[in-house]
Chains A and B, each alone.
Chain A
Amino acid sequence: MAKLLPKNQFLPFTHGSLKAMWTADVAGFAGLIDPATIPARGVDETTLLEWFGERESRIALLAFALTGYPPTHVVREFSIGSFITDFAWANIQPDTKPVFGFVEFEHAKEDTLFKQKSRTVPYIGPSFLNGFSQLVDWCSFGQTEAEKSPQISKLLNGHKHAAKMKTQFALIAGLDCFAATPMSVRRREWWEANIKLGHATHTKSYTEVCEDAEQRLVYLK
């Protein structure tokens, strides 16, 4: 089994040169979710958790794909109160408000985004809805719980903008290749446009996160 980063422990992400490292990570991520090579029923959450949980740079890549800027710290399986996030990142710099991002993974299987049952139109997948319910909880309680976290307090010790810290949340679930019918695409577009939880919350497929990361690599020299 892959050697994973420690749980619940913020690690500084200070690598100087990002382009070569992230270009390799994006290629690895794209290979992991490539419709041409994945198992017929898709990729399970554990495989994805382990791949990202092996290296700081991969968790940082998630943050970069979601926000467009690199984090200063990353962590695997971080506890905020009674909730556990699969990954988290922090961006802490002297003159900006500190930002903490929390990420929930779900499966990347054929029935994650939509599940075919008896009716013609498939139902929204239970795995996706399960992940989304976690986002709702985080948005309800996450900011308060994060403010009480000893690890976060330690990172913010003495920061002049500590009281103005921001929290952001993301759910990553499913693959676009399993939701490619015109109806599925329309339903997902509607969801993205209309379901807003605040806190810069994202719900994205692994395919979208990989594409965002690829597009943002052009920012890097």
Chain B
Amino acid sequence: MREKKVLFSEAAKASLERLPYGTSKKIMNVLTGSSPQIHSFKRTVEEHLFTVRIDNLRAIVREQGSEWIVLTVLTKAEAERMGHA
């Protein structure tokens, strides 16, 4: 099966600037490795959104056809404030 491509939105790139080097690679590894760390949190007709857990970080990701679009990357504290325990 062909792996999905992983793309980072402009906001995600900006959110990564403050995080440790290598975070984007870790996110890509999780997304392309079908890891159980991926959790769906909202599915509607338009939105297929997921959180990806990596250490103390949470990436918010949209599944879009053959692509994963990383929307933003949050710290655990931020994710908790946004309701993603």
Contact = CB atoms under 8 A, between A and B. Distances in A.
A93 B74 CA distance: 11
Interface in B9-41: 11-12, 14-15, 17-20, 41
Contacts of A18: 81-83
Interface of A is mostly: loop
B8 to A, nearest CB: 11
Contact of A219 (B14, B71, B77): B71
B84 A69 contact: no
B69 interface: no
Interface of B is mostly: mixed
B83 A220 contact: yes
Contact of B14 (A67, A70, A218): A67
B81 A68 contact: no
Interface residues of A, number: 24
Contacts of A166: 17-18
Given A67-B14, A93-B77, 7 more contacts: A19-B82, A68-B11, A69-B74, A93-B75, A99-B17, A219-B60, A219-B82
16 contacts: A18-B83, A66-B11, A67-B11, A68-B11, A69-B75, A95-B20, A96-B19, A96-B75, A97-B19, A98-B18, A200-B14, A200-B17, A219-B60, A219-B82, A221-B41, A221-B82
